[in-house]
């Protein structure tokens, strides 16, 4: 993250660019805060357990689907809360694409509205399975 | 090893990876996976899952800064994201069927190739006076960027060539859980002849979206372990923020070369690891 506290920009930064910048920053900070909270919860409860990742077992179903992650974060499972933070992180660029689609629509740039919607649909298809 | 100690070691290693990744522009994901697999014996599927997540954090953070400074070409980014996202979906699906040894070997080879790319001399093309490219004009890709002497214009060329290479960048990103920033910059700065700073900024802008495409597939197949992803994501993010604050502009040539040699050595180690059947 480069410094943004720059003197008045020489470049006429458009409002869209400002908003996209803010959106990305907010998403990352929110995700990091949730992951940190979940991490503290997780280590407080399971910190003494043995960590072993040398054999791949895959995650339980409750941490592999959107619905499962929401449910396990509600019961205050540390792992569930971390996973929720990671989902917020993954959702950040997706929200950015949706936002860009709207911005291009306001500019009446039909080609790029279609481009953004195509990217968005591919992302949603991957996330929702 | 108990979980607190294990998490602390991983967080510390991730801070270093994020720091070096942002200093050199290669991104933290490049080093996280080798550290996790070679040093800590983590299965590569867990490693690339955690690495992919950390990439979304660092690239979104960096992209937020670049986009506000006006270097990012939003249209080029959006258009090429079609290619990287489709490539990523293919790559992430391949992870679920390929033997892990193959993934480890490919990872090593890509590291060696990236080391070569990061060691190359940077040339900034001046395309302001070049004749317009028909497709780029139709897609309104030509733009300007801020420089010391005010706004500078540039033209974009060879859109299909860049699009194709971006598909490959996306495939590698999905297959290896990396940002593929080096290949993305190559596509824009060498193939499409865009200015280096614009290429870097636009690449960062695209990395998060590319990685988000793979993240859905990784999550569903259980590659994203919260206990592992937590220290990796927080560590890489913290390290890259410190790195970006410490150093502005491009690192010195000597530093880049030193880093390229280190990355190449790690890459060869990964290839050996995979071939020897320990991947």
Mean residue pLDDT across chain B: 88
Which residue in chain A has the smallest CA separation from B93? A126
First to last CA, chain A: 32
Band the pLDDT of B121: cuts 50, 70, 90. Answer: low
Asked if the model's pLDDT at residue B247 lies above 90, the reply is: no
Tell how far CA A53 is from the center of its chain.
Answer: 25
Asked if the model's pLDDT at residue B172 lies above 90, the reply is: yes
Cβ distance B141 to B75 under 8 Å? yes
The low-confidence residues of chain A, meaning pLDDT below 70, are 1-13, 76
C-alpha pair distances (Å), B198 with each of A76, B105, B106, B185: 43, 32, 29, 9
Please tell me the predicted confidence (pLDDT) of residue B278: 61
Cβ-nearest to A42 among B70, B222, B227: B227
Please tell me the predicted confidence (pLDDT) of residue B257: 82
Name every chain B residue with its beta carbon within 8 A of the beta carbon of A67.
none
User: What φ, ψ does residue A91 adopt, rounded to 5°?
Assistant: -75, -20
Please tell me the predicted confidence (pLDDT) of residue A11: 45
Contacts of A112 (CB under 8 A, 6+ apart): A100, A104, B75, B78, B79
Question: Inter-chain contact B140–A115, Cβ cutoff 8 Å?
Answer: no
Band the pLDDT of B279: cuts 50, 70, 90. Answer: low
Please tell me the predicted confidence (pLDDT) of residue A129: 75
Does residue A50 lie in a domain region? no
Which residue in chain A has the smallest CA separation from B205? A93
Predicted structure pTM score = 0.89
Residue B150 pairs in a beta bridge with B147
Please tell me the predicted confidence (pLDDT) of residue A1: 44
Higher per-residue pLDDT: B130 or B213: B213
Flag the least confident range among B104-108, B109-113, B167-171.
B109-113
Please tell me the predicted confidence (pLDDT) of residue A15: 78
Does residue A40 lie in a domain region? yes
Tell how far CA B222 is from the center of its chain.
Answer: 22
Question: Inter-chain contact B215–A126, Cβ cutoff 8 Å?
Answer: yes
Label residue B83 exposed, middle or buried (CB < 10 Å: 0-12, 13-18, 19+).
Answer: buried
Contacts of A16 (CB under 8 A, 6+ apart): A100, A103, B74
C-alpha pair distances (Å), B92 with each of A23, B43, B87, B163: 26, 16, 9, 19
Number of domains in chain A: 1
Q: Which domain holds residue A116?
A: 16-45+61-128
Whether the complex's predicted ipTM is more than 0.85 is answered with yes
Please tell me the predicted confidence (pLDDT) of residue B56: 93
Q: In terms of Cα–Cα distance, which of A100, A112, A104, A119 is closest to B138?
A: A112
Does residue A4 lie in a domain region? no
As a dihedral over the C-alpha atoms of residue A90, residue A123, residue B168, residue A56, rounded to 10 degrees, the angle is: 50
User: What φ, ψ does residue B200 adopt, rounded to 5°?
Assistant: -65, -45
């Amino acid at each position: 993250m480069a410094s943004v506290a720059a003197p008045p920009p020489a470049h006429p930064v458009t409002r869209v660019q400002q908003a996209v910048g803010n959106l990305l920053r907010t998403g990352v900070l929110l995700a990091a805060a949730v992951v940190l909270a979940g991490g503290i919860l997780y280590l407080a409860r399971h910190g003494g357990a043995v960590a072993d990742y040398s054999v791949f077992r895959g995650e339980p179903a409750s941490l592999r689907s959107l619905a499962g992650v929401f449910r396990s974060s509600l019961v205050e499972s540390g792992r569930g809360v971390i996973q929720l933070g990671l989902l917020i992180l993954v959702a950040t660029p997706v929200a950015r694409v949706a936002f860009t689609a709207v911005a291009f629509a306001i500019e009446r740039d039909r080609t790029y509205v279609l481009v953004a919607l195509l990217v968005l649909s591919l992302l949603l298809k991957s996330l929702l399975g | 090893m108990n979980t607190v100690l294990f998490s602390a070691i991983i967080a510390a290693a991730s801070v270093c990876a994020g720091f070096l990744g942002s200093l050199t522009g290669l991104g933290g994901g490049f080093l996280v996976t080798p550290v996790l697999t070679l040093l800590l014996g983590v299965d590569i599927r867990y490693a690339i899952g955690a690495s992919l997540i950390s990439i979304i954090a660092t690239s979104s953070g960096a992209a937020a800064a670049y986009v506000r400074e006006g270097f990012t070409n939003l249209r080029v980014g959006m258009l090429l994201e079609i290619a990287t996202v489709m490539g990523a979906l293919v790559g992430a699906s391949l992870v679920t069927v390929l033997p892990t040894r193959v993934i480890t070997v490919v990872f090593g080879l890509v590291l060696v190739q990236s080391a070569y790319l990061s060691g190359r001399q940077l040339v900034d093309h001046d395309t302001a006076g070049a004749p317009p490219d028909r497709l780029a004009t139709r897609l309104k890709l030509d733009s300007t960027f801020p420089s010391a002497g005010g706004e500078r214009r540039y033209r974009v060329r060879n859109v299909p060539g860049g699009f194709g290479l971006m598909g490959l960048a996306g495939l590698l990103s999905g297959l290896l859980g990396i940002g593929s920033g080096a290949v993305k910059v190559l596509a824009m700065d060498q193939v499409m002849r865009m200015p280096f700073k614009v290429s870097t900024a636009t690449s960062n802008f695209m990395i998060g979206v590319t990685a988000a495409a793979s993240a859905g597939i990784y999550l569903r197949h259980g590659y994203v372990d919260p206990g592992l992803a937590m220290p990796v994501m927080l560590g890489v993010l913290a390290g890259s923020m410190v790195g970006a604050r410490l150093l502005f502009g491009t690192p010195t040539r000597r530093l880049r070369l030193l880093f390229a040699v280190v990355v190449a050595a790690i890459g060869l180690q990964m290839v050996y690891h995979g071939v020897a059947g320990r991947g």
